[in-house]
Structure 1
Amino acid sequence: MKILIAATPLTGHVNPMLAIGRAAAARGDDVIVLTDPAFQAKVEAAGLNFAPYADNGSASFLETTLPAGPERFRHEFQRRFIDPMPVQTAALKALIAANAPDVIVAGSMFLGVLPLLLDTAPRPPIITANISFLFLDRPDHAPVGLGLPPARDRTELARYAALKAGMDAAFTNPVRAYADAQLARLGVPPLPASLPHSVVVLPDLFLQPTVPGFEYDYGPLPQSVRFIGLLQPPTPAADLPDWWPELERANAEGKPVALVTQGTLANADFGALVEPTLTALADRDDLLVLATTGGRPIEALRGPIPANTRVARFLPFRELLPRVSVLITNGGYGSVSQALANGVPIVSAGLTEDKAEVNARIGWSGAGINLATNTPSADALRVAVTRVLDEPSFRQQAAALRDAFAARDAMTGILGAIDDLARTGSVLRGGASAAVPLARSA
């Protein structure tokens, strides 16, 4: 079978798609990965065929001239994900013509698939693999992006409606209009709903890499949505840090282990989370603290490293997380999912990108504490970490989510979905799936 994978050129987006590609190639499928040349070596190291398109830095664009808020978020979103749409679509069409793939598997923010989905022209079946929270429009009308838990009463419903009106005016409607203008230039119809909602409902299949217990109740879901559990990214070959035996000794002695990370994108300023966490826990002789810089030099950490702390540029989360007692994170969806799949409770603090929504789910699920800020104080972090370590409810809820993740084999579900679509050729043209709800997948 021929599979075309399309990935937004960000590490947290590329890694899950490479995991799918490697699993498909291992069983004999012919896999081509379309992404920016910056990731060519990584694609080829995974044993997959590479096809380039020039992203020109759009995906990693950060707005520096505007203050934090809806206008800045809108500008970043448009530049990162909508502006590359024409070149992505052209690259997809060229590869379809040259290689005749049986199925396209695209990351959820690779918006170059939208013109194919909205057109009535023949195309291969398209599967979208999400890399973040389920961003459907919510039945309580809470605006997507603010990190609001489900409304509990009429007062919150009214407040959410007012907030949504403001968010629609400042972000949702301008983004939809901006995307519709791009689509019009490409000669296809406009979106059937808001852009995030359309990304979910338009593909022939939308794979959500979590379990229902870590998502809000949206009521009846589109028939295309499936919960698949943990989409485990590939573990790069790397030597374990020289302090790894200390970790093993801590585990053997029953000493708690805390891990702090700001991921690989929002890690330009370690003063946001890593440094205050190290300060907060510096006097905990009963705790081993681990920190990763997400690829940045360790020297980028300011101030002395506390005696109870060990640092590495990269850490193998697959081997590490089963040994961790608490994760302190700014809310990267992949790291959060891996932690919960290992039953690790979480302290989270982050509001950028999709992190407000991811972190809201941590607090709502009971598997951790959401500090709901980009800049938590050392005191707040100390109190939150102590609570998560000392109060059993957080570990118990994280363990329940771990068991739910264990009941799902994501890769089996993904490869099965690819096979089903390739065999039947069944696709829903022009976004027909948006109008066909079905009960929540188990």
Structure 2
Amino acid sequence: MAARMKRRDFIRRTALVGAGLLILRDPKSAWSYQANNRLNIAAIGAGGQGGGLVNIFAGMGENIVALCDVDDRRAAETYKRFPNAKRYKDFRRMLDELANSIDAVTVATPDHTHAVASIAAMKLGKHVYCEKPLTWCIGEARAMRKAAIEHKVITQMGNQGTASDGLRQGVEIVRAGVLGQVREVHVWSNRPVWPQGVDRPKDTPPIPPDLDWDLWLGPAPYRPYHPAYLPFVWRGWCDFGTGALGDMGCHTLNLPVMALKLHRAIAEGKTVVVEAEHSGCNGESYPKWSIVRYHFPARAGMAPLTLVWYDGGKKPPQEVLSLIPGEVPGSGCLIVGEKGMLYAPGDYATRWQLLPADQFRDFRPPAPFLPRSPGHHREWVLACKGENITPMSNFVDYAAYLTEIVLLGNLAIRLGGRIEWDAATARVRGRPEAEPLVHRPYRKGWTL
């Protein structure tokens, strides 16, 4: 498909009304496709979540041309399902050899390799779908945004709840002022469901023959292989994952961040104060539990507010939980306004309830002003094909900012105490020790 494509040279200046998300300007790499043409997609990460993404895009009729995974055993089912796709272990070699044959790339690797893989693809003009959180550190998130702008590619982060009608209607309700001014938000998660608060293993078992351990480590500091690090459980290790907050924040914080325009505080270079209490962080793995308080300044006519995140079995205080009818689930979100509350149970805010229920018995939602999605993954595919649609969780307008907010919580956890984040300079005021956590030094041989 790539060899037959023609570039569309035009400027999109239309805004998504009321969304605060701009259509990417001058997307010269948004190709013009005939209706029967298919994207040539290469997958970086082909097992686990990566294999699921491959199945989704193949099921939409797109062409899977290459599969890259450092673990042949974990990717075996996907390899079997797509026997004609070329196989690689090193995404750098794949991108080098297939640069003229690939239109788009999916990235579903551990968090610490999201940025190096995505930016390498974007530099070649490839559209990118990257799993959440967008990156391991804030410096990488900003680099991802910059690369998407510079190379004019279509992007989407994998927080699929963003596409649901329920979440978008919840955003509209808050933005329309139904709750009045909001100064308090509570978000809780049932994560972690993997080990945290543990020390580094001391034994050094042999590396499995199907795994390229050095490539799996990528830009992270070298350490001996151990099955305690992978698969899946890498989320709890500081060098590889982003803990409970990083794993689920891009889902469960999504509704309040978008509805209350909290990402604009980052975009406009404001100061955000963050405080964290937790079970203890040893620098190897994230705490068993944490409570993180974000203090956001006023933005876009909205009042300053405090957002509190809870994980590891912690939940809001009883006086807050008592406002929620019925059994409180393991994850959820409560937005508290002057005129009422919006409660969204679960991780994705695909459904919600206005409280107190009696007060809103005859409530009618405001007229929709956000576009309704054809589907989270389909948004990206259609945009890649040049359709006049903007993925809502694109790197430039939203995903990089949401990721930065999430990772600020991890900064507070790892640094301890109270931090003042200067979004204008990307620095923690008065805390120079934060610099390697904001802009990660890479292992030799790896660069953005």
Q: TM (normalized to structure 1)?
A: 0.36
Which of the pair has the greater relative contact order for Cα pairs under 8 Å at 6+ separation? 2
Specify which structure has the higher proportion of strand: 2
Determine which structure has the larger helix proportion and give its number.
1
